[in-house]
Amino acid sequence: MTQDQQRGAAPPDVDVVVVGAGFAGLYMLYRLRGLGLRARAFEQASGVGGTWWWNRYPGARCDVESMQYSYGFSDELQQEWKWSERFASQPEILRYANHVADRLDLRQYISFSTRVQAASWDEATDLWTVRTDKGDAVRARHVVMATGCLSTARLPEIEGIGSFGGRTYHTGQWPHEAVDFTGQRVAVIGTGSSAIQAIPVIAAQAAQLTVFQRTANFSIPSHNAPMDEPYEQEWKSDYPARRAKARAQHTGILRNLNDKGALEVSEEERRAEYERRWAVGGTAFMVSFNDLVLNEESNRTAAEFVRSKIREIVKDARTAELLAPKDHPIGTKRICADTGYYETFNRPNVSLVDLRSNPIERIVPEGVKLADGTVHAVDAIVFATGFDAMTGTLTSMNISGVGGETLAEKWAAGPRTYLGLCSAGFPNLFMITGPGSPSVLSNMIVSIEQHVDWIAQCLAELRQKGLTRIEAEREAEDKWVEHNNEVAHRTLYPRAGSWYMGANVKGKPRVFMPYIGGVGTYRKICDEVAAESYRGFRLGEPAAVPA
Ligand code: NA7
């Protein structure tokens, strides 16, 4: 007899509500259906694909190689899909997400164009009620937040944005109809990954492009190219073994990690290694040596190499100096991969404005006004200003748990989770790639699959035992948060004012949010927790409501 039957409680409308139909939501739905659970997903967008549905800005592309940035759970899927480029573009990844949704027949379980506004926990019945902007109020035993890590786009706190007379765009909310900048004067504000991908493409179209840079970023050429057939075949003939290996790696990506430290080799050898990696391209540059994010001096050698490349590429010495990052160790802000980014600044129609020496005062009807009074008149402004990363979507959703405490209240001083999967006081609510898990420091699809598999197994075990409740224990959570911080502070990462630290959002607590201990290590911990009857979780009994 289940706890519901013992209590004589009415059964829920569904077993699980999944919020989001990106790669996390799609795979979660598939596994839930496979377990015979009744599941319903809500998706704010009108289609599947999550981040790849929203981020349609020119040049949007994945920085993980296509052969690895795809689902590994189904050999059929990975064998039948053909990627056309080494690094897939946004439209191709979106086609892939649509293909998966159709292939696995998942659309019937998804309510599109429906935004979840609130979820509230009922202690008496062990049920969540999930409310949407379409008036749904669905009672579910469990809720899985498959809401992504970079899904709340952020406009900067610059006055006067509404007064601008031309068109404005945000890279993370790009229009679905084609945007044509031909003949226009365009401003791009921000120089993170999105801007670095968009700038070369916009520059090729616009009459004039002005890039407003606050912080220079390190970028490595991706050397993107059409997919090499033999390379594709090599992967496909060995896919299961390679996927298994990748899952055990630090980042969930198979790449050529050098097991030597940067200072263990001669300067000549070091330079040769950096040159070789630069020529291969992509973010694997950061594993040129095994201590680049651990040792300041090692890191400096890599940073100096990239700065020397920027000075070589960019002809105007002042522009080159502005583009060469000096205020954070390389890799401690997400390293970018580009196609002709630095070269773009050699074009006659492109100029760079340094906001450190001359900040934006406000947006005016004609364009961007700087502190010294200069007005850059433009026809369009592209805000490439990022996201309220990792927590923004969850804390803005009005999720209330035991005793009515909201997640936003609980996380006011920074996110608190056990394993990045659950948060104490919010029973039966799981997060896929939540803060406190490797998430954005890893191949997202590998991390998504690991979380989905773990949650699916957990739900299957709860059902088998007739249990209606699982909740992270505060003590286990406190220890995990402490461990998360401790591991992060062993590295150079906290030295950068990055969105990993919440530093890009005014007033957001500075806490290193993703788990940096590595995907392989993290997976082992999660597996051990499950094997030890969900160590650190309380199962099946009502939690004490705090007095
Ligand atoms: P990012 O990496 O957060 O970049 C945002 C950029 O916007 C960054 O250069 C910011 O400068 C800049 N920014 C933000 N606010 C302002 C204001 N007020 N004025 C000027 N410049 C500003 O977002 P992306 O979309 O590029 O990339 C996010 C992730 O998506 C990326 O790492 C990939 O994982 C995919 P700052 O550095 O804060 O000085």
CA distance linking residue 376 with residue 363, whole number of Å: 10
3-state secondary structure 292-308: CCCCHHHHHHHHHHHHH
When pLDDT is averaged across residues 190-202 and rounded to a whole number, the result is 98
H or E, element range at 325: none
Q: Which pLDDT score, from 0 to 100, does residue 545 have?
A: 43
Coil/strand/helix, residue 390: coil
Given ligand 1 and candidates 155, 159, 173, 194, which is best to mutate, with the most ligand atoms within 8 Å of its CB?
A: 194
Confidence of residue 11 (pLDDT cuts 50, 70, 90): confident
Which residues touch 183 (CB under 8 Å, ≥6 apart)? Answer: 206, 207
Sort strands 137-145 and 127-132 into parallel, antiparallel or unpaired: antiparallel
Instruction: Work out the angle at residue 167's Cα, subtended by the Cα atoms of residues 161 and 170, and round it to the nearest 5 degrees.
Output: 70
Residue 33 has pLDDT above 70, yes or no: yes
The Å distance, Cα 190 to ligand 1 centre, comes to 5
Residue 250 has pLDDT above 70, yes or no: yes
Asked if residue 253 lies in contact with residue 446, where contact means CB atoms within 8 angstroms, the answer is yes
194 lines ligand 1 (CB under 6 A): yes
Q: Which pLDDT score, from 0 to 100, does residue 508 have?
A: 94
Structure confidence by residue, pLDDT tens digits, 324-362: 999 999 999 999 999 999 999 999 999 999 999 999 999
282 lines ligand 1 (CB under 6 A): no
389 lines ligand 1 (CB under 6 A): no
CA distance linking residue 480 with residue 489, whole number of Å: 14
384 lines ligand 1 (CB under 6 A): yes
- Ligand 1 atom at shortest distance from the alpha carbon of 171: 25
193 lines ligand 1 (CB under 6 A): yes
Nearest residue to 292 via CA among 282, 304, 281: 304
- Ligand 1 atom at shortest distance from the alpha carbon of 157: 18
When pLDDT is averaged across residues 207-217 and rounded to a whole number, the result is 98
What percentage of the chain exceeds 70 in pLDDT? 97
- Ligand 1 atom at shortest distance from the alpha carbon of 193: 26
59 lines ligand 1 (CB under 6 A): no
395 lines ligand 1 (CB under 6 A): no
The Å distance, Cα 192 to ligand 1 centre, comes to 4
The Å distance, Cα 222 to ligand 1 centre, comes to 20
The Å distance, Cα 384 to ligand 1 centre, comes to 6
**Buried-exposed string 229-248: b where 16+ CB fall within 10 A, e elsewhere:** eeebeebbeebeebbeebbe
189 lines ligand 1 (CB under 6 A): yes
156 lines ligand 1 (CB under 6 A): yes
Structure confidence by residue, pLDDT tens digits, 270-290: 999 999 999 999 999 999 999
Which residues touch 432 (CB under 8 Å, ≥6 apart)? Answer: 24, 25, 28, 144, 145, 146, 448, 451, 452, 455
151 lines ligand 1 (CB under 6 A): no
What percentage of the chain exceeds 90 in pLDDT? 96
Structure confidence by residue, pLDDT tens digits, 434-471: 999 999 999 999 999 999 999 999 999 999 999 999 99
Structure confidence by residue, pLDDT tens digits, 303-327: 999 999 999 999 999 999 999 999 9
Which residues touch 95 (CB under 8 Å, ≥6 apart)? Answer: none
When pLDDT is averaged across residues 84-106 and rounded to a whole number, the result is 98
Phi and psi at residue 213, in whole multiples of 5°?
-110, 125
Nearest residue to 526 via CA among 441, 435, 455: 455
Residue nearest to atom 2 of ligand 1 (CA): 192
192 lines ligand 1 (CB under 6 A): yes
The Å distance, Cα 387 to ligand 1 centre, comes to 8
116 lines ligand 1 (CB under 6 A): no
Instruction: Work out the angle at residue 357's Cα, subtended by the Cα atoms of residues 356 and 359, and round it to the nearest 5 degrees.
Output: 65
Asked if residue 406 lies in contact with residue 394, where contact means CB atoms within 8 angstroms, the answer is no
- C-alpha dihedral sign at 489, 283, 71, 98: positive
215 lines ligand 1 (CB under 6 A): yes
390 lines ligand 1 (CB under 6 A): no
CA 133 to chain centre: 25
- Ligand 1 atom at shortest distance from the alpha carbon of 385: 7
The Å distance, Cα 191 to ligand 1 centre, comes to 6
Coil/strand/helix, residue 122: strand
User: What would you measure as the largest C-alpha separation in the chain, in angstroms?
Assistant: 76
Q: Which pLDDT score, from 0 to 100, does residue 187 have?
A: 98
When pLDDT is averaged across residues 236-242 and rounded to a whole number, the result is 98
Asked if residue 22 lies in contact with residue 49, where contact means CB atoms within 8 angstroms, the answer is yes
Q: Which pLDDT score, from 0 to 100, does residue 321 have?
A: 98
504 lines ligand 1 (CB under 6 A): yes
Residue nearest to atom 3 of ligand 1 (CA): 386
Confidence of residue 542 (pLDDT cuts 50, 70, 90): very low
Q: Which pLDDT score, from 0 to 100, does residue 543 have?
A: 41
CA distance linking residue 155 with residue 141, whole number of Å: 36
51 lines ligand 1 (CB under 6 A): no
Q: Which pLDDT score, from 0 to 100, does residue 10 have?
A: 74
Given ligand 1 and candidates 64, 154, 385, which is best to mutate, with the most ligand atoms within 8 Å of its CB?
A: 385
358 lines ligand 1 (CB under 6 A): no
CA distance linking residue 101 with residue 48, whole number of Å: 8
Number of helices (H) and strands (E) in the chain: give both, helices first: 17, 20
What does DSSP assign to residue 534? S
Asked if residue 192 lies in contact with residue 440, where contact means CB atoms within 8 angstroms, the answer is no
Structure confidence by residue, pLDDT tens digits, 385-423: 999 999 999 999 999 999 999 999 999 999 999 999 999
Residue 195, token pair as written in the block: 């801007």
Residue nearest to atom 14 of ligand 1 (CA): 385
Residue 544 has pLDDT above 50, yes or no: no
18 lines ligand 1 (CB under 6 A): no
Q: Which pLDDT score, from 0 to 100, does residue 266 have?
A: 98
**Buried-exposed string 516-536: b where 16+ CB fall within 10 A, e elsewhere:** bbbbbebbeebeebeeeebeb
Sort strands 110-111 and 116-122 into parallel, antiparallel or unpaired: unpaired
222 lines ligand 1 (CB under 6 A): no
Confidence of residue 1 (pLDDT cuts 50, 70, 90): low
Sort strands 375-377 and 367-370 into parallel, antiparallel or unpaired: antiparallel
Asked if residue 253 lies in contact with residue 443, where contact means CB atoms within 8 angstroms, the answer is yes
The Å distance, Cα 217 to ligand 1 centre, comes to 10
The Å distance, Cα 333 to ligand 1 centre, comes to 10
Residue 337, token pair as written in the block: 């991969």
Q: Which pLDDT score, from 0 to 100, does residue 5 have?
A: 57
Coil/strand/helix, residue 303: helix
CA 420 to chain centre: 14
Q: Which pLDDT score, from 0 to 100, does residue 8 have?
A: 58
Residue 234, token pair as written in the block: 């090599």
Nearest residue to 332 via CA among 304, 296, 308, 306: 296
What does DSSP assign to residue 334? P
The Å distance, Cα 311 to ligand 1 centre, comes to 23
Given ligand 1 and candidates 154, 214, 326, 493, which is best to mutate, with the most ligand atoms within 8 Å of its CB?
A: 214
Phi and psi at residue 165, in whole multiples of 5°?
-85, -15
Q: Which pLDDT score, from 0 to 100, does residue 523 have?
A: 98
CA distance linking residue 245 with residue 134, whole number of Å: 44
Asked if residue 138 lies in contact with residue 129, where contact means CB atoms within 8 angstroms, the answer is yes
Residue nearest to atom 38 of ligand 1 (CA): 504
For the chain, how big is the Rg over CA atoms in Å?
A: 24
H or E, element range at 91: helix 90-103
Q: Which pLDDT score, from 0 to 100, does residue 274 have?
A: 98
